[in-house]
Structure 1
Amino acid sequence: METTDNFDNMVLGRVVHRLLFFFTIFFLITNSSKTTAQTSSQGSSITSNLINIEAPASETFRYQATLKNGAGSAQVFQLSADVPEGWRLVFKARGSQVTSINVEPDRTESISIEIKPAYGAEPAQYPFTVHAISDRESLQLALEAVVEGSYEMELTTPSGLLSGEITEGKKAEITLRVKNTGSLALNEITLSAQTPSRWEATFSPSEIAQLDPGETVDLIATVTVPEKTLAGDYVTKFTAKNTSGNSTATYRMTVKTSVLSGWVGILVILIAIGFVFYLIRKFGRR
């Protein structure tokens, strides 16, 4: 008999424990919905499935909200937001940027909320509130943007000088420097070059596996100039990029003709002058 009573108590304890667990879950869900959306006495509301978005500081945070007019007549809702200092927020609806929207009775409108962090925003949680206000109702939606850092890089040379000289038909080695100027690590950075016609460019190394914040890596770009290239200034555009961003550097190169080409040109001129002199002497006697 005692064993049966103990068993019944264990079963009852488990049932009570499960009921408390489900009640807690229900309470949390209910409380969460109240903090993310506000429903008016007329049934109007503004809600969003995503209320917390995490992204780098260089990206735009995008939220999709639903504005419902529960009143018996159409309402024009003015849209505004309390955002952190330096942040920029815009509302978009029906394919256009808006500051207010007319919603028919018992209808809903989809509103895109786009917010851009301030320049140099530090990694942190940034809460902000969206307002939809009409003549009869005032609705609020609490959102949060979590800045996880930024992906930024800079491509230049160690000295900062982006110009040089080269002789036609020769190769030039240019030292480039890639710097991680963001707050997150950069992975799999590749190098490429946009050169004048028939020019060639190779890199050593051709890829940077990882570059931590604040670190720099120097690499060699070997540029080959074809023979018989006319003297003058030419531009080569170097690019360092990965899936998170890119940086470019425009390098101006002044091409000079080789010494041999100069002597060949002088020789051709002398031969031409000699030939003309020969013709004058030969036919000038007649």
Structure 2
Amino acid sequence: MLNKLLITRLGLSFRPLFISFLILANSLYLSGQTVRATKSSFEARLLNIEAPSNEPFRYTTTLTNGSSQTVTYNLNAQLPEGWQISYRVEGSQVTSLQMQANKVQEINIEINCPLTTKPNTYKIPLKAISPTDTLHLDLEAVVKGSYALQLTTPSGRLSDEVVSGSNKEILLQVKNTGTLPLNAVELSAQLPSKWEATFSPSTIQQLEPGKSTDVKVDLRVPDKTIAGDYAAKFDVKSPNSTADISFRMIVKTSLLSGWVGMLIILLAIGLIYYLIRKYGRR
């Protein structure tokens, strides 16, 4: 009985001490959290991106204001000559942004280089500059070449004549003007109503840089097409590039149709003259 009473008194004596210990431990924990406060930074998910020179380099970056006050950051980049850069925040293009304390903001960056840029790895230093801090981010753009198509004719002429109700063969020229091979190059046409076009070949499996291929187009003009000027558009596309041209077609009627028309007119005139001579005297 005496031992039990002693243990109870000891427990009551240590309770305030235990509570004080808990309060101290919690204070030390919160102090540690304060020490580990968010640090200002400028980071990217991918630092190195590869693309052809006719496509943009797109980066997703994160800007963090780890200070305890609202700060305005100005965005700055050192680009090679002729290159362009844009920054977008929530769909809007910006050059600077105001950030509240401990705020994290995603910034989408798009960089474009000239088509003539030589294949190489280019370093793009970025800065987010505020009155109290300068944050650095080094990106890399790996230019692997360019994709480019050209559609024309061997002679450069973009017009021709065709007789109504007949076929016309047109020769097109597809050229790879880029520095990378093109695969699965397909041709198509946008024509006036009821016109038809057949390509030979209709698909080019591979076209090397600087090379060209001639394509025959069998153009069919339906009967009774009214004489005049018509526009035919020819398109060429690959998974990486497209091109098109507008071709002027001058439709004429056949000589036979012309003579038939003249004969009908003459017959009509002759019939009228006959009726006048026969019934005009009465």
TM-score, length-normalised on structure 1?
0.84
Match of 2:247 in 1: 251
Q: Where do 1:129-208 residues align within 5 Å? A: 129-208=125-204
Per-residue CA deviations over 1:142-199 (Å, capped at 9, x if unaligned) read 0000011111010100011110111111100001000000000000111101111111
Match of 2:93 in 1: 97
In the TM superposition, what is the alpha-carbon distance from 1:42 to its structure 2 partner? 8.1
Q: Aligned partners of 2:80, 2:129: CA distance in 1, in Å?
A: 20
Cα pair 2:115 2:146 within 8 Å, conserved: no
Match of 1:210 in 2: 206
Match of 2:122 in 1: 126
Match of 1:12 in 2: none
1:280 and 2:276 aligned = yes
In the TM superposition, what is the alpha-carbon distance from 1:43 to its structure 2 partner? 2.0
Q: Aligned partners of 1:177, 1:271: CA distance in 2, in Å?
A: 49
Amino acid at match of 2:97: I
Match of 1:232 in 2: 228
Cα pair 1:149 1:182 within 8 Å, conserved: yes
Q: Aligned partners of 1:130, 1:42: CA distance in 2, in Å?
A: 21
Q: Where do 1:68-87 residues align within 5 Å? A: 68-87=64-83
Amino acid at match of 1:137: D
Aligned-residue Cα RMSD (Å) equals 1.1
Amino acid at match of 2:195: W
Q: Aligned partners of 1:42, 1:194: CA distance in 2, in Å?
A: 59
Q: Aligned partners of 1:283, 1:88: CA distance in 2, in Å?
A: 87
Q: Aligned partners of 2:120, 2:268: CA distance in 1, in Å?
A: 77
Cα pair 1:86 1:119 within 8 Å, conserved: no
Cα pair 1:45 1:69 within 8 Å, conserved: yes
Cα pair 1:77 1:101 within 8 Å, conserved: yes
Cα pair 2:38 2:102 within 8 Å, conserved: no
Q: Aligned partners of 1:151, 1:207: CA distance in 2, in Å?
A: 17
Q: Aligned partners of 2:42, 2:214: CA distance in 1, in Å?
A: 52
* Secondary structure in structure 2 of the residue aligned to 1:58: coil
In the TM superposition, what is the alpha-carbon distance from 1:278 to its structure 2 partner? 1.5
Please list every run of at least 4 consecutive aligned residues from structure 1 whose deviation after the TM superposition is greater than 3 angstroms: none
Amino acid at match of 1:242: S
Cα pair 2:228 2:250 within 8 Å, conserved: yes
Match of 2:258 in 1: 262
**Rg bigger for which structure?**
2
Match of 1:115 in 2: 111
Q: Which runs of 5+ in 2 are unaligned?
A: 1-36
Amino acid at match of 1:168: S
Q: Percent identity?
A: 51
Count residues in correspondence.
246
Per-residue CA deviations over 1:80-136 (Å, capped at 9, x if unaligned) read 100111000011112100010011111100001110012311111111111100110
Per-residue CA deviations over 1:208-229 (Å, capped at 9, x if unaligned) read 0000000000010010111111
Amino acid at match of 2:93: Q
